[in-house]
Amino acid sequence: MSKLFTQANVGSVALDNRIVIAPMCQYSAEAGKATAWHRIHLGNLALSGAGLLIIEATAVEAQGRISPQDLGLWDDETQQALRVVLDDIRHYSPIKVGIQLGHAGRKASVSAPWLGGKQLSPEEGGWQTISASVMPYDPGERPPREMSQQDLQRVKQRFVDSARRAVALGIDVIEIHAAHGYLLHQFLSPLSNQRTDEYGGSLENRLRFTLEVFSAVREAVPSSVAVGIRISATDWVDGGWDLEQSAVLTKKIEAAGGDYVHVSSGGLSPLQSIKVSAGYQVPFAKALRQQTSMSVIAVGLITEPQHAEDILQHGEADLIALARGALYDPRWPWHAAAALHGAVHVAPQYRRAEPHGVKGTVK
């Protein structure tokens, strides 16, 4: 039997299979509120047959958006707009739904990628960014403001408030975004954290804010909701955040009640040097899986069903995530089921589409 199509548990959340649709920013919200695009986009992915669909990076406050068009979950209006999307999904799909909660920090206030992805001036609708230290992502950008103790407490509470809103929406999984150079990653990496207080300097200090945020969220939501973290296992820059430090963080997240770690890499510095190839991040997942009993999600150019299956069979990860691959082929789980003799939940409206040569791939 294909392991990819066996059931799995993430914390107390049971998944129908081990395929995860990873969070992917859409830059299509209005003042943080989900739009018709999200109903189309997430509705489409909800019919993919994957075991878990994680909603894109969702800002816990307006200042934490990457772009002015980022999705948010910080007030009643943003919560209600997302509820409309989730109600539609649940009417037609049994897929488990997660949400990634994040804050962009110094990488906030930029335009959408197809508009250049550059930092926006106040005249263009941009805003003052915040970070661990007064160091911009790119030397040519306006520097962020170093977060005060009051900022730290406010942002931590914003994560908690957004997590509670997610629970009220019936979200199954909450993922804390500490990867790709965004705010929590900015505290973790010595390249971006030059603080001299208890939140900077030593590894213990650089871990502090991320662990405080994670612990506060875990304590604020019921055990029936799985809570995990997404990390960049390395900055791909000498002297930066690396796998050894990621292992320490992973162990501490587990001790704080974490249910999984979603292993990506990079995004903190424009100096990163990455040699991209199929499954190039899987070795990080494998290394961290040896350090934890939490579920480990591997991601990064895993495009072929047999490759995904081999990763699981070799014990390198517990679940497989797709991002761009799912956009390119929203029926990837169904196609993988055909290739690996598995089966996925398919909407009855689509069951007639099952090819004659691969009967038995639908539930």
Per the annotation, the verdict on 260 as an active-site residue is no
Which residue ranges in the chain fall short of pLDDT 50?
none
pLDDT digits (tens, 9 = 90+) for 260-308: 999 999 999 999 999 899 999 999 999 999 999 999 999 999 999 999 9
Residue 357 lies in a domain: no
Residue 355 lies in a domain: no
Residue 350 lies in a domain: no
Rg (CA), the chain: 20
Residue 218 lies in a domain: yes
- Cβ-contact 236, 273 below 8 angstroms: yes
Q: Which of 27, 182, 199, 260 is catalytic?
A: 182
- Cβ-contact 178, 208 below 8 angstroms: no
- Picking from 304, 293, 282, the residue whose alpha carbon sits closest to that of residue 254 is 293
Q: What is the CATH number of the domain that holds 231?
A: 3.20.20.70
Q: Which range of residues forms the domain containing residue 10? A: 3-330
Residue 216 lies in a domain: yes
Residue 154 lies in a domain: yes
Q: Please state, in angstroms and rounded to a whole number, the distance separating the CA atoms of residues 333 and 182.
A: 30
Q: Please state, in angstroms and rounded to a whole number, the distance separating the CA atoms of residues 292 and 110.
A: 36
Tell me if residue 272 falls in helix, strand or coil. coil
Residue 172 lies in a domain: yes
pLDDT digits (tens, 9 = 90+) for 73-104: 999 999 999 999 999 999 999 999 999 999 99
The domain total for the chain is 1
Q: Please state, in angstroms and rounded to a whole number, the distance separating the CA atoms of residues 346 and 196.
A: 54
pLDDT of residue 239: 96
Residue 293 lies in a domain: yes
Pairing mode, strands 8-10 and 13-15: antiparallel
